[in-house]
Amino acid sequence: MTFLIMTKLKKSSVLLIYTGGTIGMMQDVVTGELKPFDFKSLTKQIPELNKFDIDLSSISFKEPIDSSNMHPSVWIELVKIIKDNYKKHDGFVILHGSDTMSFTASALSFMLENLSKPVILTGSQLPIGIIRTDGKENLITAIEIAGAKEKNKPLVSEVCIYFEYKLYRGNRTFKYNSAHFDAFKSPNYPALAEAGVDIKYNKSALLKPSTKNLKTYSELDNDIAVLKLFPGISKKITSAIINSHGVKAIILETFGAGNATTETWFTNELKKAIDKGIIVLNITQCLEGRVIQGKYETSSHLKKLGVISGADMTFESAVTKLMFLLGQKLTTKEITKSLLKDLRGELTL
C-alpha cells in the first residue's frame, strides 16, 4: 500500500514599509486636514487584509516623507531595512508617494543586486481615508503579488511598481498622470502582470531570480547635471550647466532618436566636458522610443565626441543609474561600460 504524505506549505511573510505619501493619510473629520494614520491599526482601515493567508509585518518611518522631499539618503535607509529583514520575509511592499516613486524604484533596482524576492512599491492618488480611494486595491494586490509563490518560490524577484491593476518593472516607469488613477506608464517594456478577476503574470517578461546571495549598495553620488535641449538654447546657459563646479556626469535630454544642434559652440562645450572626464549620457525627450546615435547627422557628432547612448532608458533610470555607478568610485571607462550594459533590466540592448 502506498501512502501520500501531504506537507503544508509555509505561509508567505510580507513586510510593509511605509515611507509616506498620500496612501497613508487620513482625513480629520473635524478640520478636513490630511494626516498620517498609525500603521499599527492598518487592518482597521483595510479589514480585507485579515482575509489574507499571509503573515504581515510593518515598519513605518518615524516622520513620513512627502515624495517631493525624497532623497538618496532615504533610498539608503530602505536598502538597509530590506537587507536586515531579507531572510525573515518572502516579499516587501513599500508604500510611497507617487510623484517620485519611479526614481525610488529605479534606485532600489540598482542598489539591490541578486534579488530573489519581490520588492513592490505602491501608493495612491487618493488617501486611504477617502471613500473613493484607489489605495485599498493598490495595497491589497501589491501584498498578494509580494506573497505569491510558485513551487514554493516567489513568483516575482525584482523591484516593481504596482498601480491601477498593473505591475511594472520599476526602472522602466515614469509618472505621466496626476489626475487619473492610472498614474504610471512603462512605454518601452510590457507590464509584468495585470490584475483582473485573476492576476495574470507575463512570465516571459519577468527577471529570473538570482541564485546568488543578496548584495546591497549604500554609496550614491548625486553630482549630476541635466541639460534639456530646446530650440534656441543659449551658449551662456549651456556653458553654465556644463561647467558647474563638481559636476561628474551630465544627462543630455535630446530630440527624437538622440539628436542635438550641430552648432560649433555646442559641440565644443561638450568636447571640453568629455575631455575633462565628465560623463555625458544621451537620453531622448520622447516618452517612447530610444536613442540611436548616428542614425541622423544631428547625432553623429555626439557619437564621435564620446557621448554615451542611453538607448531606451527612462530619465528616472538614467539619473539613478548614474548616481549608483558614480557612487562605486569607478573609472570613467568602467562607468561607460556599465552604462551601455543592461544591469537590472533597465534597457533593451
Looking at residue 233, its amino acid is I
Other beta carbons less than 10 A from residue 247's beta carbon: 16
| Strand residue runs (E) in 86-230 | 91-95, 112-113, 119-122, 149-150, 153-154, 159-163, 166-169, 174-175, 184-185, 193-195, 199-201, 215-216, 224-228
DSSP 8-class letter at 162: E
Query: In sequence order, what are the residues at sequence separation of 6 or more whose Cβ sits closer than 8 angstroms to the Cβ of residue 176?
Result: 183, 184, 185, 287
| Residues paired with residue 249 on neighbouring β-strands, in sequence order | 224, 279
What is the phi/psi pair of residue 88, to 5°? -85, -20
Q: Cell numbers 566636458 correspond to what residue?
A: 273
What is the phi/psi pair of residue 140, to 5°? -60, -45
Query: In sequence order, what are the residues at sequence separation of 6 or more whose Cβ sits closer than 8 angstroms to the Cβ of residue 227?
Result: 238, 241, 242, 250, 251, 252, 253
The cell numbers describing 42, all together, are 492598518
> Which residues are identified as catalytic?
22
The cell numbers describing 233, all together, are 538654447
Give me the helix-helix angle, 101-111 and 315-327, nearest 10°: 40
Number of H helices, E strands in the chain: 9, 20
Q: Cell numbers 487619473 correspond to what residue?
A: 180
Helix locations, 18-170, DSSP H: 42-45, 72-85, 101-111, 135-147
Q: Are 170 and 105 in contact (CB under 8 A)?
A: yes
